[in-house]
Amino acid sequence: MGGLSPEREVSLTTGNSVFEAIKRNGLDAVAIDVDRDIAAHLKRTGIDVAFIALHGTYGEDGTIQGILEYAKIPYTGSGVLGSSIAYDKVKSKEIFKANGIPTADYQVFQRSQKNETTRTLDLPVVVKPSNQGSSIGIHIVNEENEWSKALETAFTYSEEVVVEKFIAGRLVAMGMRGEQPLPLVHIKPKSEFYDYEAKYTQGKTDYVCPPVDLSAEEISRCERAAIQVFRVLKGRGIPRVDAIVDAGGTPYVLEMNTIPGMTPTSLLPMAARQAGIDFDALVMEILNSAQLDYQ
């Protein structure tokens, strides 16, 4: 947990919640705050299995997974390749498009070519770094005078920025137990956008689970899309798929989060509770899914 990314504080909250749950289940556990000495630290601790609660760069992108593969320590979440492609928003969208999974039209901007690239999408658009989580660096651009600042902000977090056509609709999160979807969560932020503050501040967002504002057919479409995303992005364990359902009932997939948050306001524990799975049982189920890509 912890680590070096802008999501460090959220990761510490997730990690401590998971750590306490593992101890309540009677297992011998150690909490590791990841730094650049992590390989040597793993060797010193001699752990048998790793529960990854490490959000952001180095934690969700295949990096820590690769280190654990070398150490032959089974770990939770997706493998090296699955983690890498799910964390990269551009590669994910390319895979969605190639497999007929609805996703917003988009355009990619490179820092090295930003002055040579003209935006082709009409406003409003969503500007986001290609490899950050927790809505860090994301802006909705409604007016032309907001465009340059939003692009520059996104470039402070990533060398590559994805600009998406804004899709108006209902934001939903779908936890996955393997290829079996958990109950959907309808996310209703009280602000314009489900940003970092709305995600992690009590009372800033309403959550409806099960989602009464979606029809049975819309829920079914969401579940089918989530299963397909899990397959094409090489999902493993219990990830979360996010989408926006437009007025016509089409779920436009945003991403798959391979290491969902496990904080008091997190979506995966909320969906699990609706399915009759308490927090400690959810943690143990994730822990029991730990494995290696290379045996």
Catalogue the active-site residues.
Answer: 7, 134, 200, 240, 242, 255, 257, 261
Reduce the DSSP state of residue 159 to 3 states and report it: coil
Distance CA 213, CA 184 (A): 11
Reduce the DSSP state of residue 88 to 3 states and report it: coil
Are the C-beta atoms of residues 171 and 126 closer than 8 Å to each other? Answer: no
> Using the 8-state DSSP alphabet, how is residue 291 labeled?
B
Total length of the chain: 295
Tokens representing 167 are 């899709």
Question: Cα 132 vs. chain centroid, distance in angstroms?
Answer: 9
Which ranges of 34-100 would DSSP assign to H, the alpha helix? 38-45, 63-71, 80-87, 89-98
Q: Where are the beta strands (DSSP E) in 42-159?
A: 106-110, 125-129, 139-141
> Using the 8-state DSSP alphabet, how is residue 36 labeled?
T
Place of tokens 């860090």: 136
